[in-house]
Amino acid sequence: MADVGELLMSVLSTIRVPKPGDRVHKDECALSFSSPESEGGLYVCMNSFLGLGSQYVDRHHARSGQRAYLHITRTRKAKEDDGNSGSGHPPKKKPTRLAIGIEGGFDVEQEQYEEDVKVVILPDRQEVTSEDLTTMPDVVRERVSLSMAGIMAADSVSHTLQVQQWDGEVRQESKHAADLKQLDNGVKIPPSGWRCEVCDLQENIWMNLTDGKVLCGRRYFDGSGGNNHALLHYQETGYPLAVKLGTITPDGAARYSHTVHVTERTMTELEIAVNQRVGEWEVIQESGTTLRPLFGPGLTGMKNLGNSCYLNSVMQVLFTIPDFQSKYVSNIDKIIDEAPSDPTQDFKTQVAKLGYGLLSGDYSKPAPDPGEENGAAEPRGDQIGIAPQMFKALVGRGHPEFSTNRQQDAQEFLLHFINMVERNCRSGSNPSEAFRFLVEERIVCQQSQKAKYTQRVDYIVQLPVPMDQATNTEELQEAERRREEGDSSAPTVRAQIPFTACMAALSEPEILTDFWSSAVQGKTTATKTTRFASFPDHLVIQIKKFTFGLDWVPKKLDVSIDVPDTLDLSGLRATGQQPGEELLPEVAPPPLMTPDVEVKGILGSHGNEEDDSLYSPLLSPVLDDSTVSQLCEMGFPLEACRKAVYYTGNTGIDAAMNWIMSHMDDPDFSAPLVLPGCSSGPGTTPTESLSEEHLATIVSMGFSRDQATKALRATSNVLDRAVDWIFSHLDDLESMDVSEGGRSAAESEGGRDPPPGPRVRDGPGKYELFAFISHMGTSTMCGHYVAHIKKDQQWVIFNDQKVCASEKPPKDLGYLYFYRRVAE
């Protein structure tokens, strides 16, 4: 023992006691999905507190020089039956907070484990137990014991993240709700058109639940909101409860108690109710069929971390694509060798870890027996699987939605992840190129018959759903008639939409009624036709099922579409400018201005060479305040509403709302309105610093730094807009005297380099379906996602930890479809 004591003494200076703020990874390996329950256990570095599986601890020792590790192993105890172990049972204590592992949150029954903890000294893996420490010098015993105790007592990073993501609002029940007094005074509240009975205000309107008084709400610190008339009414009458009009649904409403001062949102109540019945999510489209569980490489399930099925489904599909496999999984040893000192924060390392976990088969093993005496009646398909906690925390960090445990839109996450891949693949292979393609938009002025061509990069084809093309219209109308008559037995009929009708809606010309034509110097009608300027190796099609009703309430279209197994898009190939076709002059439209705007002339004293605008307004535009106010009441950001009214020329709420629907995904959607020609906006002067990250991203797409700089300056330093701009100004960029690599045109071979453009792959437009992601639920804010993937000519369903052979893949009900090119 003296030798071990001397060893510990020699490494004592590297052994640390965790302090507040230290990240302790004691549940999961930073480089694999090994855990204390895995074979070999988990080794926690007693200096950096990184967790390492047994296969990586020697490599970490060799790279870092660290020698002391806390070895943690856990063995599951036999579970005692408390009579309430069914998967669908609610928690023993009703939750009052949308949270996990904290007071008022969901009860999380912890598995019971036998735990063994000891210190291991590398490279010879000499072990030191707590009993051994009692015989060692005080200085050794104290430091090592404190470090061991600190590591074991510290909250692991994964647990801390889980609590942060689920730490929702507290639900408090007003003491007045149970015995609320309601006056029988004959007051009837209309379903719309509410006004404050005192000041006629039409926004932030509340109804008192005792006497039915309709009054405005509190005045906010900035002067907005209301005029406090609802509060004054409470102070005069003592009637304590009010409901905000416009938030009432069959499930509840936004309520206010003047004594509790807590607003309760319907979504919190619904989420808690959903999560209390988490066992119900195991019922999926193929639940009526006995499915055969599958195990092995490429057949690994993923644990649901709390509404993370959208992430699970997307990543299962992405890692069936060769580009992602070769980038991250084939090179995993090199990636790990080059990983930074904290690999938990490295994008490439965590993506490679996830990819290897899915494809290796190491974690594709049946889950442990749950302890039922007679076993399950049929194979359930549950796996040990992998829990992508580090990956989810990393890709969601800083994002207002993906950093939470709320349900998300799988399409939005796919684009978010592709964007992260683009940013992290500035050199070397870029797997997102598999999806990247060019779109050509041809706009023809109907008055002059002159055309304008622009190109933009895209990754997803958004396919409209023409409900008027349903083939079972009579059945739909009959079911609707019976529902309106109160027939509770009326069947639910799903609209049958031909896929050909969806494609026709995508390819048919769009009528633009307020197009500003540079040929006629005014607004006129134009047609816009969209075509493929290139065909990607892998094509993603999104069925636009999520839309808004006439009342602007989000809803999901319940449709069945006969999506084909093979697809030929050759007929949608762009042809470019036609022989004899004249192009619209390159002149920008004048901005919307107030009547008293002083105009100094076309590119006059306020113009500059970076300004593409025709005029330079000095004053702000006049905006229709009522339209802006209506849009804000719908919950959209103020600046987005101002831009919607500005860019639609004060033509009314419908046009502004359409603009908002078309630009909600813009990165600058909520940014302040910057008028063309104004020097106050970011990125409008040549001297303003540009984002190096944005410059590098555009350069990685095949453009020169000068071209990227020009694009960013022309678009207020906004990356997505700069990419769109650069593809719509290819002719201008060709004339620039700097080509790729910084060489002048004269230095290039004959000055005849190919025109600038993105790194897009192109080929035949013929495809075959290999995967699709389906959504169950009423909106992207709730529900469940599963993926079906074709593996060796067999459809496989990936439903979180369940991986089974699919018997009846519901190809007509998908949300995202993934096709790969068929070689001719």
Judgement on whether residues 362 and 394 belong to the same structural domain of the protein: yes
pLDDT band at 498 (very low <50, low <70, confident <90, very high): very high
**pLDDT computed for residue 563 by the predictor:** 96
Q: What pLDDT does 660 receive?
A: 85
Write down which residue in 98, 127, 159 finishes a domain.
159
Average pLDDT of 89-110? 51
- pLDDT-above-70 percentage for the chain: 74
Does residue 372 surpass a pLDDT of 80?
no
Find the mean pLDDT for residues 582-596.
Answer: 63
634 or 224: which leads in pLDDT: 634
Is 589 within a domain? no
pLDDT at 261: 42
CATH of the domain at 326: 3.90.70.10
Catalytic residue among 416, 538, 784, 788: 784
pLDDT digits (tens, 9 = 90+) for 312-344: 999 999 999 999 999 999 999 999 999 999 999
- Helices 638-647, 653-663: inter-axial angle, 10-degree rounding: 120
57 and 202 housed in the same domain: no
Helix axis angle for 389-396 and 347-359, nearest 10°, is 140
pLDDT of res. 381: 61
What is the chain's mean pLDDT, rounded? 78
**Residue positions forming the annotated binding site for Zn(2+):** 196, 199, 216, 229
> Which of residues 264, 298, 322 is at a domain's end?
264
- Span 142-164, average pLDDT: 80
Indicate if the alpha-carbon torsion angle 499, 504, 506, 511 is positive or negative: negative
pLDDT band at 284 (very low <50, low <70, confident <90, very high): very low
Percent of the chain beyond pLDDT 90?
40
- Is residue 422 in some structural domain? yes
Q: Which residue has better confidence, 527 or 367? A: 527
User: 381 with 235, same domain?
Assistant: no
Write out the residue range of the structural domain in which residue 131 sits: 4-77+113-159
Same structural domain, 142 and 215: no
Residue 379: is its pLDDT beyond 70? no
Alpha helices per DSSP H over 21-93: 57-64
Q: Which pLDDT value is given to residue 430?
A: 92
123 lies in the same domain as 186: no
3-state helix vs strand vs coil in the chain, percent to 5? 30, 20, 50
What confidence category does residue 695 fall into, taking pLDDT thresholds of 50, 70 and 90?
confident
Q: Are 72 and 113 in contact (CB under 8 A)?
A: no
Q: What is the pLDDT confidence band of residue 180, given thresholds at 50, 70 and 90?
A: confident
Q: In terms of domains, do 17 and 131 share one?
A: yes
Residues 129 and 49 in one domain: yes
DSSP string, 753-817: PPPP---------EEEEEEEEEEESSSTTSSEEEEEEEETTEEEEEETTEEEE-SS--GGGEEEE
> Per-residue pLDDT averaged across 36-47, rounded?
94
Binding residues: 196, 199, 216, 229
Q: Which of the given ranges, 9-13, 376-380, 738-742, has the highest pLDDT on average?
A: 9-13
Q: Are residues 378 and 427 in the same domain?
A: yes
309 catalytic, yes or no?
Answer: yes
Same domain, yes or no: 239 and 309: no
Catalytic residue check, 502: no
| 59 lies in some domain | yes
Local confidence band at 296 (pLDDT 50, 70, 90 cut-offs): very high
Range scoring the smallest mean pLDDT among 11-15, 186-190, 432-436, 674-678:
674-678
503-554 confidence digits (pLDDT tens): 999 999 999 887 888 898 888 999 999 999 999 999 999 999 887 666 656 7
State residue 317's pLDDT score: 98
Is there a domain that residue 774 lies in? yes
Rounded to an integer, the average pLDDT of 281-293 is 61
Structural domains counted in the chain: 3
Residues 150 and 234 in one domain: no
Q: State the Cα torsion 5-6-12-18 to the nearest 10°.
A: -20
Domain final residue, candidates 124, 159, 194: 159
Specify if 557 maps to a domain. Answer: no
CATH number at residue 232: 3.30.40.10
Tell me whether residue 101 is in a domain. no
pTM for this entry: 0.68
- Give residue 265's pLDDT: 38
Domain-located, residue 350: yes
pLDDT at 388 over 80: yes
Lowest mean pLDDT among 4-18, 67-81, 661-675: 661-675
Q: Tokens for 535?
A: 């065909």
Evaluate whether residue 195 is within a structural domain. yes
Q: Which of 45, 233, 258, 309 is catalytic?
A: 309
State the pLDDT at residue 378.
Answer: 43
Q: What is the mean pLDDT of residues 718-727?
A: 74
* pLDDT tens readout for residues 193-236: 788 899 888 877 888 989 999 998 876 544 556 788 988 898 88
740-773 pLDDT per residue, tens: 333 333 333 333 343 345 688 999 999 999 999 9
End-to-end, the C-alpha distance of the chain in Å comes to 72
pLDDT of 622? 65
Residues 54 and 149 in one domain: yes
Q: Are residues 239 and 288 in the same domain?
A: no
**For residue 731, which amino acid is it?**
D
